[in-house]
Amino acid sequence: MSDPARPARSSPPVARVAATIVALVVGLSGTGHTAVLAATYPASDYSNVTAFDTCDGTPDTISHSLEALAQSGLGYLGYTSGEYATTGFTRARVLSRASTDQAIYVHSHGDQYFDPYPKQVQGFREDGGDCSQAIIYATDLAAVRPATVHLVLMSTCHLAEAARTSGQPTMAAAYGIDRVKYTDPHAPDDGARFFLGYEGLAWTADMLHFEQRFWGYVTTGHLLGDAYTLARASAAMSGTTVPDWFGTYDYSGAPGSSLPCTRCV
Amino acid sequence: MYHTMNLSRIDLRITAAGMAIAVAAGLLCVDLGERPATLSLAHAALAVPVARGATVSAAAIELAGRFGLAGTPGAPVRTADQVTGEFLDTVDFRRADGRLAAEVVRAVDGRLVRLVDLTDPPRGPETPVDAARAPTAARRLLGASGLAAPASPPVTTWDAGMDAWCVRWVRTIDGVPAPTDGLVTWVRPSGRLKALSDIRSPLAAAPAEPVTAGAATLAVRAYLRRLHLDRMADLVVDAPRLAWVLPNAFVDPAAGSGPSTLRLAWTITLGYVPPGWSDRHAVEVDVDAATGALIGGTETA
């Protein structure tokens, strides 16, 4: 593929080493390298804190932890990510930013909601700071998202599933990502695109264990497919939480040609 | 002398100073059977002593040969597990083009913890493995790795993300399950190994006299009253069940996120409909069987 965000297998070794050094030095400074890599690749990191705290009545720190992990990961990859929770995570903001975002992370409630009954459409709930929590549907996002969405991570229940109502877009499809796994590095693939989500009910403690490892592998230079596989094999999770992925296995996750990928070609 | 000394970083908010402290703390613990105080977001690679590194490398190469794994092994790297803090020695195998081919992970005592084949070998003429045959295939693969499968029947599910059958034996300690631990084998439809994982988190001592199920229920009822969850619509409190669980900050946000050790607990599942919701919400709360204190939980997203 000609997309510059694919792992640059043929790029000069010097360029790869330079990119690695920049990522390592800036990363170790604790400031993130997004300041060095200009704000060319916008992204959004949303976490529905209120739903898992005030609304269901239980205190919650997992939503904050997941949001922080995603923020660090997106920054490492080279995205300039806005971080939104409570009143900052609204349907209006998601749809507004969706027109330019090249990566998105959402931790919230997700499902195939009736819109209206009996039609079911995949979606997730905004936070909004209260418990009314409007739904952002896949159909809403499909209408506004740009062509260049690279990375979509849905830390919710149900959004890696096939559509229950024929003809309705999945959340992956809403972002232009085939619900297909492209694993052959020598065959045509989905380009610089990767979707991560969960099938069925996902439990937050399991999600934290899995995503902690997933980001751990991503930010130590593993390709996204490898990061998924290694995280799946290493995370202490109950058997009921099942993550899944679609897109290009060999994609690094980086939006541009300056790859922080120290373990790929 | 050491094989390797390389630092990797996962959390941009961990400063260089913080990393140095973490690594220094880790180095002090190496081979002493201790675990670092907190490395929950760090993935710092530590040095592996030469003698130990040679053993780890040789074992990894021998195992890779047994499974026909591709790639050239790199030097072993020691890291602390992000949740339990246990030190693990990893050998990565790389293909000629530099991509990762396999990962072999052992505990510092030599126990095989994980073996993952990251290649996508073409399917051969073998008889396709289905759900019924997957447990037998898993037992064969575990035997080849030197791990023994329990006599009990496993749970077998198709894992789309791994493109393999997931054959899982949940770990039990004195008959009590540890739902997040276990021996898991991912078997490709061809019958070849995709991955195996033997997760055995450290254990706290079992209490001599666990609190009763009734006391655990009372503790959760008090928690429900304190948070006014007892007013939630259609509240259902299931019967307590014993399990070994990893404590977390679910009940007490002030609880730290340091290395976790499995504790014997009563797990109680709650179901209710929060105000304004149409769907039921499921929550699990864990009551420490030694102290009666609430030590964690989880909920559905």
Residue A257: predicted pLDDT:
55
Domain boundary among B199, B225, B253: B199
Average pLDDT score over residue span B82-105: 91
Cα–Cα distances (Å) from B267 to A124, A205, B247, in that order, read 29, 14, 11
Together in a domain, B250 and B192: no
Chain B residues with CB-CB distance to A230 below 8 A? 103, 116, 118
Q: Does residue B7 belong to any structural domain of this protein?
A: yes
Domain that includes residue B258, residue range: 213-299
Q: How does pLDDT run across B183-202, given as a tens digit for each residue?
A: 999 999 999 999 999 999 99
The domain boundary residue, chosen from B145, B164, B199? B199
If asked whether residues B222 and B169 sit together in one domain, one would say: no
Distance separating alpha carbons of residues A129 and B242, to the nearest angstrom: 36
pLDDT for residue B82: 78
When pLDDT is cut at 50, 70 and 90, the band that residue B44 belongs to is low
pLDDT score for A14:
34
pLDDT score, position A173: 96
Among candidate residues A124, A134, A114, the one with its CA nearest the CA of residue A159: A124
| Stretch among A45-49, A209-213, B250-254 having the lowest mean pLDDT | B250-254
pLDDT at B215: 97
Q: Which of B173, B199, B225 is the last residue of a domain?
A: B199
Average pLDDT over residues A159-174: 96
Same domain, B37 and B175: yes
Task: Read off the tokens for A119.
Answer: 């039609």
Beta-carbon contacts below 8 Å between A and B: 196
Q: List pLDDT tens digits, range B221-247.
A: 999 998 888 888 899 999 999 999 999
As for the ipTM of the complex, it is: 0.84
Output the six-digit token pair for A108.
């919230």
- Residues from chain B that touch A27, judged by Cβ atoms under 8 A, are 9, 12
pTM: 0.84
CB contact under 8 A, A29 and B16: yes
Residue B54 lies in a domain: yes
**pLDDT higher than threshold 60 for residue B285:** yes
Same domain, B217 and B283: yes
Domain contains B208: no
Contact B186 A132 (CB under 8 A): no
Assess A245–B contact: CB distance below 8 Å, yes or no: yes
From chain A, pick out residues whose CB is under 8 angstroms from the CB of B250: 58-62, 204-205
B230 and B283 co-located in one domain: yes
Chain B positions in Cβ-Cβ contact with residue A111 (cut-off 8 Å):
279
Lowest mean pLDDT of A89-98, A208-217, B35-44, B153-162, name the range: B35-44
Together in a domain, B172 and B259: no
The whole-angstrom separation of Cα A199 and Cα A177 is 17
Question: Is B195 part of a structural domain of the chain?
Answer: yes
Q: Does residue B190 share a domain with residue B78?
A: yes
Residues A126 and A130: their CA atoms lie apart, in Å, by 9
Handedness of CA B158, B162, B165, B168 (dihedral sign): negative
A:59-78 residues touching chain B, CB 8 A cutoff? 59-62, 65, 68-69, 72-73, 75-76
**Do residue B229 and residue A57 have CB atoms under 8 angstroms apart?**
yes
Residue B166 falls inside a structural domain: yes
Residues B189 and B276 in one domain: no
Q: Which of A229, A230, A248, A264 to mutate to test the interface with B (most CBs of B within 10 A)?
A: A229
Give the pLDDT band of residue B125 (cuts 50, 70, 90). Answer: low
More confident residue, B27 or B190: B190
Determine whether the interchain pair A264/B250 forms a contact, defined as Cβ–Cβ distance below 8 Å.
Answer: no
B113 and B236, same domain (yes or no): no
- Which residue of chain A is at minimal alpha-carbon distance from B84? A236
Query: Would residue B205 count as lying in a domain?
Result: no
Report the number of distinct structural domains present in chain B: 2
Does residue B50 sit within a domain? yes
Q: Which of residues 184-243 of A touch B (CB under 8 A)?
A: 184-185, 198-199, 201-209, 212-213, 215-216, 219-223, 226, 228-230, 232-234, 236-239, 242-243
Over residues B41-56, the mean pLDDT reads 74
DSSP letter string, A87-145: GG--HHHHHHHHTT-SEEEEES-EEEEESSTT-EEEEEE--TTSS---EEEHHHHHHH-
The answer to whether residue B208 scores a pLDDT higher than 60 is yes
Give the confidence band of A191 by pLDDT, cuts at 50, 70, 90: confident
Cβ-Cβ contacts under 8 Å, B103 against chain A: 230
Q: Which two tokens stand for residue A130?
A: 């209260």
User: Is residue B105 one of the residues assigned to a domain?
Assistant: yes
| Mean pLDDT, residues B215-220 | 97
pLDDT at B251: 87
Tell me, what's the pLDDT at B123? 65
Least confident segment among A51-55, A178-182, B201-205:
A51-55
Residues B249 and B193 in one domain: no
| Bond preceding residue A260 cis, omega within 30 of 0 | no
Give yes or no for a contact between A58 and A201, defined as CB atoms under 8 angstroms apart.
Answer: no
pLDDT at B84: 78
CA A249-A252-A253 angle, 5° bins: 100
Least confident of A30-34, A101-105, B47-51, B200-204: A30-34
Taking contacts as CB-CB distances below 8 angstroms, the residues of chain A near B114 are 233-234
Residues 17-56 of A with CB under 8 A from B: 24, 27-32, 52, 55-56
B219 and B193, same domain (yes or no): no
CB contact under 8 A, B120 and A29: no
Q: What is the pLDDT of residue B57?
A: 94
Report which of residues A256 and A61 the model is more confident about.
A61
Question: Are residues B161 and B249 part of one domain?
Answer: no
- The backbone region for B200, taken as left when phi is positive above 0, alpha when psi lies in -120 to 50, beta otherwise, is beta
CA pseudo-torsion sign B147, B152, B153, B159: negative
Q: What is the pLDDT of residue B103?
A: 97
